[in-house]
Amino acid sequence: MKLGRLNHVGVATPSIERSVATYRETMGAEVVRDPFDLPAQGVRVCFVDTPNSQIELIEPLGADSPIVKFLERNPEGGQHHVCFEVPDIEAAHTWFDGKGCRILGPTRIGAHGTPIFFLHPKDMGGVLTEIMESPKQAH
Amino acid sequence: MKLGRLNHVGVATPSIERSVATYRETMGAEVVRDPFDLPAQGVRVCFVDTPNSQIELIEPLGADSPIVKFLERNPEGGQHHVCFEVPDIEAAHTWFDGKGCRILGPTRIGAHGTPIFFLHPKDMGGVLTEIMESPKQAH
């Protein structure tokens, strides 16, 4: 397997609205996608485009959202995960399993509508790492 | 100002050697640049290329390295900062200053040999944000 595109950096925030204002007004972001709920992951999501990648703003959706604890430790938000693309999620699952990586949860549909899973940060130098199948139309 | 390229994600590590092994063997990284010391920032640096961006591995250089405390809190390492490119560092400094952002330290030469500065995470939703002038030859 080859290291794929850095699809996005996941940034947890207590308020997508406030973070979008920061990226627009302070950082000059011009392409901000419409926010949407991703109930399967317990988050509300909003993508901010850079010329080569994206920032994925994630806000807790519901009290048992998996990012509630992160925001308790980091009340203003912060870098939560990185996401790399793979051409085939099943092949990637077999690959990482064979490397002895702990795969978090089942393969499921992610924020870009393609299958994803997460690798445990303890197997990735402390970095929670999302593995995402590339959208077919984009490449 | 427009939001520029996501030049890299800065990942702190107690051992560049171990992290490079992980990125090569587990993630399939094929292009890993030669590590080098950046005494002005108190870090040793190693870039791992993705097709569209880079992971910047940073290891403490000396006991007073600015990432020692981060690694005390995150002994296995973790996401430390994100870096966006700008066409002109002086214009960017004036822009962020005008936005009321706290700029950390003087403008100095960064790991890509171009001038950089950092924005305080409290002004960027908890994300330590590096602003870097684009290398002239790359664009």
List, for residues B76-113, the tens digit of each pLDDT value.
999 999 999 999 999 999 999 999 999 998 999 999 99
Whether the CB-CB separation of B60 and B71 falls below 8 Å is answered with: yes
**Distance of residue B16 Cα from the nearest chain A Cα, in angstroms:** 10
Distance CA B39, CA B60 (A): 10
Is the pLDDT reported for residue B138 higher than 70?
no
Mean pLDDT of A110-137: 96
Which residue of chain A has the CA closest to B32?
A3
**Average pLDDT for chain B:** 96
**Distance of residue A40 Cα from the nearest chain B Cα, in angstroms:** 25
Mean pLDDT of A32-41: 95
Domains detected in chain B: 6-138 (3.10.180.10)
CA atoms within 13 A on the CB side of A37: 6
- The pLDDT tens digits of the residues spanning B2-26 come to 999 999 999 999 999 999 999 999 9
Mean pLDDT of A35-64: 96
Q: What residues of B are in contact with residue A51 (Cβ under 8 Å)?
A: 3-5
Among A17, A83, A84, A124, most B C-beta atoms within 10 A, so best to mutate, is A124
> For residue A24, what are the contacts with CB-CB under 8 A and spacing of at least 6?
A30, A32
Nearest to B82 among A2, A9, A99 (CB): A9
Which residues 35-64 in chain A show a CB within 8 A of chain B?
A: 48-53, 55
Distance CA B115, CA B62 (A): 23
Query: Is the Cβ pair A5, B82 closer than 8 Å?
Result: no
Provide the CA A78 distance to its chain's centre, in angstroms: 13
Whole-number pLDDT of residue B40: 86
Q: Any idea which residue has 């005390």 for tokens? A: B72
Q: Any idea which residue has 């870096």 for tokens? A: B83
Whole-number pLDDT of residue A63: 87
Helix (H, G, I), strand (E, B) or coil at A69: helix
Residue from B46, B62, B65, B61 nearest B8 by CA? B46
Nearest to B76 among A4, A29, A122 (CB): A122
Q: Catalytic residue positions of B?
A: 130
Residue B132, burial from CB neighbour count under 10 angstroms (0-12, 13-18, 19+): buried
Query: Is the Cβ pair B26, A123 closer than 8 Å?
Result: yes
Whole-number pLDDT of residue A47: 98
Whole-number pLDDT of residue B136: 86
Which residue of chain A has the CA closest to B95?
A26
Distance CA A47, CA B113 (A): 30
Predicted complex: ipTM over 0.85: yes
Is the pLDDT reported for residue B139 higher than 70?
no
